[in-house]
Amino acid sequence: MKKRKLVLSTGNQHKVEEIKNILEGLSIEVVSKKDVGLGELDVVEDGYTLEENSLKKAKALAEELDYMVLADDSGLFVDILNGEPGVYSSRYAGEEGNDVKNNNKLLHELKDISLNKRGAKFKTVIVLITENKEIIVVSGECAGKIGFELKGKNGFGYDPLFIPEGYNETFAELGEEVKNKISHRAKALENLKEALKNILEVS
């Protein structure tokens, strides 16, 4: 039986591999937008919520393809900063994807704040659009706190600062194997896996 294609709205190979690993065992072939010749398709993420951004990216891809498509958006929401950086996580310091500047800005915003007031959560929203343009939205979150300094060499983004609940190390110290079991994206993908199982069974 031919596997159905699932096209991801990302050029981030790290994310592609992570999603492939978590969805392993399903009768689908996971590929990136670059793999189907749409690597240049860029969408301005100007939504006010993670869901708006995910939906916008997924719809742009679905308009070009007859395959299932998937887009996600993630953010770090810090309690004492009223949910900042939130939807602006990847450009918190003003420059898209500059992890060093973003982490430094966050540390600066939280200086003199004690550990018990540094609560935060990572959230991911995933939008899947099926071949017949049905829209499925799932989400996942991981609670924790923000450390006082960058620790660990693994991961990306705010991973060297984020200490998940139940652990004393940051995501960057815990490494990929642990992160892929407990992270916001892992939880969202587990929810997606259930939705995909239903879709595959029905058809």
Helix or strand run (H / E) with residue 68: strand 68-78
Residue pair 201/31 in contact by the 8 Å Cβ criterion: no
**Cα-flanking dihedrals φ and ψ of residue 159, to 5°?**
-55, -35
Measured distance CA(55)–CA(126) in Å, rounded? 8
The yes-or-no answer on residue 112 being catalytic is no
The residue from 42, 66, 72, 73 that is catalytic is 73
CB under 8 Å to 47, separation ≥6 — which residues?
A: 53, 55, 56, 73, 87
Binding-site residue numbers for Mg(2+) are 73
Binding-site residue numbers are 10-15, 73-74, 156-159, 179, 184-185
Binding-site residue numbers for substrate are 10-15, 74, 156-159, 179, 184-185
- Strands 162-164 and 68-78, sheet pairing: unpaired
Indicate which residues carry an active-site annotation. 73
